[in-house]
Amino acid sequence: MKNGHLPVAIQENISLKPYNSFGIDAQASYFTPFRSEDELEEILAMSLPGPVLVLGGGSNLLFTKDFNGLVLKNEISGITELHEDSEYVYVRAGAGENWHQFVQYSIGRGWAGAENLSLIPGNVGATPMQNIGAYGVEIEDIFWDLEAYHIREKRKVTFTNTDCEFGYRESVFKKKYRDQFVILNVTYRFHKHPRFNISYGAIATELERMGVRDLSIVAVSQAVMNIRRSKLPDPATIANAGSFFKNPEVPAAKLEELRIKYPGIIAYPLLNGNVNWRQDG
């Protein structure tokens, strides 16, 4: 700030209602979008008072009061096919890209791996933060690397799959490096030859109801969208943040005890040796 005046790009006392999926009318003391690493660096150099909140699609937060600080709206866009080999195609997407639209973009080009993650609200930048997942697939299954900007050290850092320390809806960005980085872009490794995962939930049943005979990533994506729409309200009609629950996590030995009482349990192993489970239906 010079002479008490803010640069044109910085807005004051802005309602955040259009920027969060619950439609909460909280106000931000300062607000500005950024569309590149250079813009982000320039904005952070202004040293505005108060904390900094980086906002993506606005579907993973609930405002309970005004935010007395700077809200940065990540609008870094762009989708680039980096390279490919006989099995995979590597694609980089800006963190501000809408996730579902990116999934549909990949499906339209025959890139497999994200079809089970259709219709999840939010932007690309949020996907590795909590290792989003649905219907038997998680981001770590197709994640290659990401670039993130360290707010305090003012430098760009590359994180590989291992660096992210993915867990069940977990990554280093949720705890270890919470509020330290701004994700700039994410690179995914898509399969050229689909490996269908339709064992989870009602996907197989929905595909049968749809009359699908020749399995495809388009059909799986549509089945997932049909199921999600049957369970969740349209956010354009009723404000919501999609599905954000976590299945219970228990030791593998405990699972066998639970199966005696709940024969319909479906369980998936976790890297830490535990399992997460749910009761079918």
Same domain, 47 and 86: no
127 occurs within a structural domain = yes
The CA distance from 16 to 255, in Å, is 43
List the Cα angle 43/165/82 in 5-degree steps: 65
Q: CA nearest 198: which of 278, 136, 106?
A: 136
User: What does DSSP assign to residue 36?
Assistant: S
133, 15: one domain: no
Q: List the one residue out of 105, 106, 132 whose CA is nearest residue 120.
A: 132
pLDDT-based confidence at residue 259 (cuts at 50, 70, 90):
confident
98 shares a domain with 59: no
Burial code (b: 16+ CB inside 10 Å, e: under 16) for 212-245 equals beeeebebbbbbbbbbbeeeeeeeeeeebbbeee
Which tokens belong to 95?
A: 């963190």
CA distance 181 to 104: 28
Has residue 3 been placed in a domain?
A: no
Residues 126 and 241 in one domain: yes
pLDDT (0 to 100) of residue 248: 76
SS3 of residue 120 by DSSP = coil
Domain region containing 31: 11-74
In a domain, 5, yes or no: no
Query: Among the residues of the chain, which ranges form H helices?
Result: 37-44, 99-108, 161-164, 203-209, 217-231, 252-261
Residues 98 and 174 in one domain: yes
One domain, residues 84 and 68: no
Residue 100 has pLDDT above 80, yes or no: yes
Does 165 have pLDDT greater than 90? yes
DSSP annotation of 63: -
Determine the pLDDT at residue 256.
80
DSSP, residue by residue, 77-104: --EEEEEE-SSEEEEEEETTSBHHHHHH
User: Does 269 score more than 80 pLDDT?
Assistant: no
Per the domain annotation, does 257 fall within a domain?
A: yes
Looking at the structure, do residues 144 and 201 belong to the same domain, yes or no?
yes
2 within a domain of the structure (yes/no): no
Total domains in the fold of the chain:
3
Q: What percent of the chain has pLDDT over 90?
A: 71
d(CA 183, CA 204): 35
State the pLDDT at residue 148: 98
Using 50, 70 and 90 to split pLDDT, how confident is the model at 249?
confident
Q: The domain that contains 30 carries what CATH number?
A: 3.30.43.10
Name the nearest CA neighbour of 124 among 48, 186, 34, 43.
Answer: 186
Average pLDDT over residues 262-278: 69
d(CA 190, CA 90): 6
Residues 241 and 21 sit within 8 Å (Cβ to Cβ): yes
- Segment 58-83, tens digit of pLDDT: 887 889 999 999 999 999 999 999 99
Q: What is the pLDDT of residue 281?
A: 39
pLDDT band at 244 (very low <50, low <70, confident <90, very high): low
Mean pLDDT of 10-14: 94
Determine, yes or no, domain membership for 133: yes
State yes or no: pLDDT of 131 exceeds 70: yes
Which tokens in the block code for residue 255?
């699972």
Domain contains 1: no
- Say if 70 falls within a structural domain: yes
**Same-domain pairing of 67 and 189:** no
- For residues 246-261, average pLDDT: 78
| 193 in the same domain as 116 | yes
pTM, entire model: 0.86
- CATH of residue 226's domain is 3.30.465.10
